[in-house]
Chains A and B, each alone.
Chain A
Amino acid sequence: MTSLLALNVGSALLWGLFATGLLTLLMSGSQGLGWSRISFPYMIGSMFTSHRGRAMGIGFLVHLAVGMSFALLYALVFESWQWATWWLGGLLGVFHGLFLLAVLMPALPDLHPRMASTHHGPTPTRQLEPPGFLALNYGRSTPVLTIVGHIVYGMLLGLFYPLGGGGLL
C-alpha cells in the first residue's frame, strides 16, 4: 500500500494550479470562438450569488481551488502506481471529463441552487439553463471540448508532477 506521506503536495498543487489555468484558458477560448457556452467559473460562481460579475470572480477562484484539489487525487493515483507519464495523465483526464459530463452535469440541476430543473419550467429562484446530457445544451462541441480540456489537464500533471520529486523519484 502506498504511503500518503510519499505524496508531493507542493508539486501537485503547483502543477494543479498551472493545469487548471490552462484548462480554463482553453474553455474560455472555445467560448470566445463560439464553440461552446459551457463556463465552469460561471456555473460554480452562480451557486453563491446572482450577480453575474461576482459569480464569475468567485467561480474562477473556486474552480482554481477545485482544480488544485483534483491534482492531489491525480498525484495520489500516480504515487499508488509509482508511475506517472503524460499519457497516463491524459487517460485519467478522459475519465475525469467523462465523469463530469455523464454523471455530474445531469445531476447539476439537483445540486445547483439557481439552476432550472430539467423537468419543470424556470422559477424566480431557478433560472439558469441546465446542461443536459453530456452538457449538449451548451453547444454540440461541448463534450469534445470538455474532454480535450481535461486530457490536457491530466497530461500536464502527468508530465510535470514527477519533476517535483517525492515518492516517484
Chain B
Amino acid sequence: MHSPDDQYAPIEDYAVIGDCASAALVGTDGAIDWLCWPRFDSPSIFAALLDAERGGRFQVRPTQDVSSVERRYMGDTNVLETTFTTETGVLRLTDLMPVGPPEAYRRELWPTHEILRRVECVEGTVPVQVACEPQVEYAQLDLSFEDRGAHGFFYNYDGAVLIARSEVPLTPSPGQNALYGEQTLRAGDRRFLSLTYDDEAPAVLPLLGDHAQRKLARTINYWRDWAGQCEYDGPYRDAVVRSALTLKLMTFAPSGAIVAAPTTSLPEAIGGERNWDYRYCWLRDAALTLRALYELGYEDEGRAFFSWLLHTTRPTAPELQVMYDVHGNTNLTERTLSHLEGYRQSPPVRVGNGAHDQLQLDTYGELISAAYEFVRREHELDPWHRRLLVSLGNEVCARWEEPDEGIWEVRSGRHHHTFSKAMCWVALERLLALHEEGYVTVPVDRYRTEAAHIRAAVEEQGYNEEKESYVATFGGDRLDASLLLLPTYGYKEATSPRMKSTFARIHEELAQNGLLHRYPPDTDDGFTSEEGAFGLCSFWDEEMFARLGRLDEAREKLGETIGYANDLGLFAEEIDPETGAFLGNFPQAFTHVGLINAAITITKAEEEAPTALHEQPDPQ
C-alpha cells in the first residue's frame, strides 16, 4: 500500500507546457500527469495528478535510479527540458506542445493538438523506459489501442482519435489500453515520441525524426519571438517574462479568453474540501489582466481578451456571471467525480464550478475598469460596447445595495462586502469619465448621486473606527486583503490616513512569513479546513508599498515573494506559509498577473512620481 506522499509529487514539482488552447503538467519524474484535450476544460486524457492509480500518465524516464534531476525552460520559451543524471549517464528529456506562426499552419498539415517529446542521451549509456497510459474522459472510458503499424497506435473514441508514434519501440499491454517500451540509449542517441489528438476529420499523422526536430526549432522560435515583444525591461525581467509566457499559455487563442488555471481540484488544503475547477475565465481580474497585457506591449492579446470579455457578457447583460467558459458559455454546472481519489487523497474532484451563478457586484467595477483601460489604449469603443457598458452602469445603480458573495466566492451566504460596494463606485466613476471623454452617454446626475451614496456607505459602514481600518463587510471587524486594491482602482489614495491604517492592520492580521492570507484563517467561508496564503494578495501588498513610496520595502518584499516560485518561476494559487509548498490549482494565471503588475508598479514608481497613479479627489 502506497502512501499519498509516495504516489503524488508536490505541486511545485510540476511544469506546464501548452499550445494556447490546452495544457499539460509534466513532473520532475518525466511523467505527464495532467492533460485535457481538445481544450482546457475538456475531460482529461491523463489525470494521474488526481488519481495516481487510475488517472493515467505518459512517462519517459531512465530505468535506473536517478541521482539528480535538473530542469529549465529553454530560455524565454515554454519548451521544457528535464535532465536526469544516473550512475551510468545523463539523459535529457525535452517536452513541448508544438506551436508556430500563422503562416506555418498554411504550409503544412498540423494535428489539432500534439505533445512532442524528445529523449536524448547526453553522456554515457542510459536505459530508458516509456509508459503511455491514456485514461480518457476522466478515466471513465475503457478503450484499447489499435496497432496500425508504421502509422502508429490509434485510440478512437467519441469521434476523436489519439495517435501515439514513437522512435522507441512500443508494445501494447495485454489489454491493449497502454503502451510500454524500453531501449538503451548511448551518448548522441536521440528519439522522438509524439501523442496527437484530432477530431471530426481524418487525423494528421505525427512526424518524427528530422521533421520533429524542425518542429521543435520552430516552437522555440515562436516563443522567443513572442517573449521578445515584452516591453518591460526592469529589474524583474526574468520573472515578468516567465509570468507573461505562462499567461500566454493559459490564453485560449481561438477566443482570446484566459483561464484561471489549467487544472481542477488541486486542493487549497490537503485533505480538505477546498477543491475547485479553475479551467474557466473569471471576470474578477479582467481590468488587472488587461493592464498587464497592455503594459507589457501585448496589444493583440489585450484586444482579443477585451473582445472576449464583452462578447461573453453580452448575452447575460446587464447581469454578469462570475465566470464563463472559454467560448462564453454560462452553464458550468458543478459535479463530483467520485471515482477519482483526488490529489494526495484529497477529495472531491470537481468539474464545473458551482460559484458561476453567485452574485459578485465587484465584477461590474472590474469589467467597466477593463473597458476604461481599453479606451485609454485604443481610443475607440464600438456602439454596442457603449450600450452594453451603460446597461451595466444602470444595473449597478439598481443593485449596489444588495448583499453579494463577494470577490472570494465564499459559500457561506451573501453579505454587504465593502470591496464589492467600492467597486460599484468605481464602475460609475469610470463610466462618468468615459462620458466626459465622449465615449458613452450616461445619465450623469443619476450616476453622480448614486456614486456619492455608495461612497458615503463605504466610508460610514465599511470603515471600522475602532479598528482604524476598512473591513471586509459593512459593520464588521474582519479584514480582507482585497481592500489593498482600493488605491489600484482609484477609490482611495494609498497615502490617505484610512488606507495607511488599513494597510497596517492587514499586515498585523493577515501576514505570515512574508505572505498574505486573503482573509483571517478562521473566517466562516463555508468550510472548516484552513487554506494557505494567497499568492496574488502578496503581490497586491507590494504594489501598495510602492504606492506609499516605500520602495525599498516594496523591492524587498517582491524579491521575497518571487522567491516562493518554483524552480521554473511558476506559482500556484496559494502557498503554505510554513513550508513554502504550493496549494491550489497550478499554475495560476492571476498570481502571475499580480507579479507582472507589482513589478511594473514598483519599476514605474522608481521612475516617476508615485502620486501619478491616483486621480480621484480624496476628502478623508
Contacts and interface: CB of A to CB of B under 8 A. Distances in A.
A169 interface: no
A35 B159 contact: yes
B151 A31 contact: no
B159 A36 contact: yes
B205 A127 contact: yes
B160 interface: yes
Contact of A52 (B109, B158, B159, B199): B109
Interface string B291-303: 0000000000000
B205 A129 contact: yes
Interface core residue of A32, A35, A38, A138 (most chain B CB under 10 Å): A138
Nearest to B146: A137
Nearest to B204: A127
Interface core residue of B108, B158, B201, B206 (most chain A CB under 10 Å): B201
B211 A124 contact: yes
B106 A31 contact: no
A116 B151 CA distance: 8
Interface in B73-115: 105-110
Interface residues of A, number: 34
Contact of B201 (A39, A50, A137): A39
Contacts of A50: 106-109
A46 B159 contact: no
A38 B200 CA distance: 7
A122 B201 CA distance: 17
Contacts of A128: 109, 202-205
A34 B159 contact: yes
Contact of A122 (B156, B159, B205): B205
Interface string A94-115: 0000000000000000000010
A39 B109 contact: no
Contacts of B151: 116, 121-122, 129-130
Interface string B123-158: 000000000000000000000000010110010101
Nearest to B203: A129
A9 to B, nearest CB: 33
Nearest to A128: B202
A156 interface: no
Given A33-B159, A35-B159, A116-B151, A127 B109 contact: yes
A37 interface: yes
B122 to A, nearest CB: 27
Interface string A24-45: 0000000111111111001100
B103 to A, nearest CB: 10
Interface core residue of B109, B154, B160 (most chain A CB under 10 Å): B109
A36 B199 CA distance: 9
B200 A39 contact: yes
A114 B211 CA distance: 16
B304 interface: no
Given A31-B159, A129-B151, A139-B156, A37 B105 contact: no
Contacts of B109: 46, 50, 52, 114, 127-128
A139 B201 CA distance: 10
B475 to A, nearest CB: 54
A37 B207 contact: no
B277 interface: no
A19 B203 CA distance: 27
Contact of B202 (A33, A35, A120, A138): A138
Contacts of A93: none
A106 to B, nearest CB: 14
B198 interface: yes
B613 interface: no
B205 A37 contact: no
A35 B108 CA distance: 27
B202 A43 contact: yes
A140 B199 CA distance: 15
A131 interface: yes
A164 to B, nearest CB: 35
A50 B206 CA distance: 15
Interface core residue of B148, B159, B161 (most chain A CB under 10 Å): B159
Contact of A37 (B106, B107, B159): B159
B207 A124 contact: yes
9 contacts: A33-B159, A34-B159, A51-B106, A119-B150, A121-B150, A122-B207, A127-B204, A129-B203, A129-B204
Interface of A: 31-39, 42-43, 46, 49-52, 54, 114, 116, 119-124, 127-131, 137-140
Considering the complex of A and B, which 10 residue pairs feature the smallest CB-CB distances, nearest first? A34-B159, A121-B150, A122-B205, A34-B158, A129-B203, A39-B201, A31-B200, A51-B106, A129-B202, A42-B201
